């Protein structure tokens, strides 16, 4: 399977991972899964940018799927994220997430990714409320 890499040049969900480390993790993931790693496309540094991700989606017919460093590099907006994943699955393609060792190949997987995202958002919200109370 030929998978296009997708990495970030900015922070995501409070994490900052150097690009070379993201690429190493993706390359290792692809080797272990016997997938051909196509060089990574790097998302722009502007907050909430998904320009490069959308470009990969437009060109998805030329590859078998995408391998991102993390599931948390998907668009933050729930509808946009679900629509993007549905587009990938609907075209018989896959998206993999190397850091979490997850992949999306069907609607059940999309629901699982959405649940992971919602859980992370609730945790982040609760942490910010606790931090706010701590500083009162």
- Mean pLDDT to the nearest integer, 36-56: 94
Token readout for 66 is: 């995408």
Q: Does residue 76 register a pLDDT over 80?
A: yes
**Local structure of 68: helix, strand or coil:** strand
Tens of pLDDT, residues 27-37: 999 999 999 99
Its pTM stands at 0.90
Q: Are 29 and 98 in contact (CB under 8 A)?
A: yes
Token readout for 64 is: 């078998």
| pLDDT confidence bin for 9, thresholds 50/70/90 | very high
| pLDDT confidence bin for 48, thresholds 50/70/90 | confident
- Mean pLDDT to the nearest integer, 62-79: 96
Q: What's the pLDDT score for residue 128?
A: 77
Mean pLDDT for the chain overall = 93
Angstrom distance (rounded) from CA 130 to CA 58: 41
Residue with tokens 């969900």: 13
Q: What's the pLDDT score for residue 116?
A: 96
Task: Could you please state the CATH topology (level 3) that the domain comprising 2-134 is classified under.
Answer: Rossmann fold (3.40.50)
Tens of pLDDT, residues 81-134: 999 999 999 999 999 999 999 999 999 999 999 999 999 989 888 887 776 555
| pLDDT confidence bin for 15, thresholds 50/70/90 | confident
Q: Are 64 and 1 in contact (CB under 8 A)?
A: yes
Domain edges within the chain: 2-134
């Amino acid at each position: 399977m030929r998978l296009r890499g997708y990495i970030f040049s900015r922070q995501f969900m409070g994490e900052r991972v150097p690009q070379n480390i993201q690429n190493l993790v993706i390359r290792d993931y692809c080797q272990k899964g016997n997938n051909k790693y196509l060089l990574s496309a790097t998302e722009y540094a502007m907050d909430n940018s998904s320009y490069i991700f959308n470009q990969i989606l437009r060109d998805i017919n030329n590859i078998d799927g995408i391998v991102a460093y993390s599931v948390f590099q998907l668009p933050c907006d729930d509808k946009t994220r679900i629509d993007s994943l549905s587009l990938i699955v609907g075209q018989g393609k896959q998206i993999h997430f190397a850091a979490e060792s997850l992949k999306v190949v069907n609607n059940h997987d999309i629901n699982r990714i959405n649940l992971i995202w919602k859980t992370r958002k609730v945790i982040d919200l609760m942490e910010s409320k606790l931090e706010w109370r701590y500083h009162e």
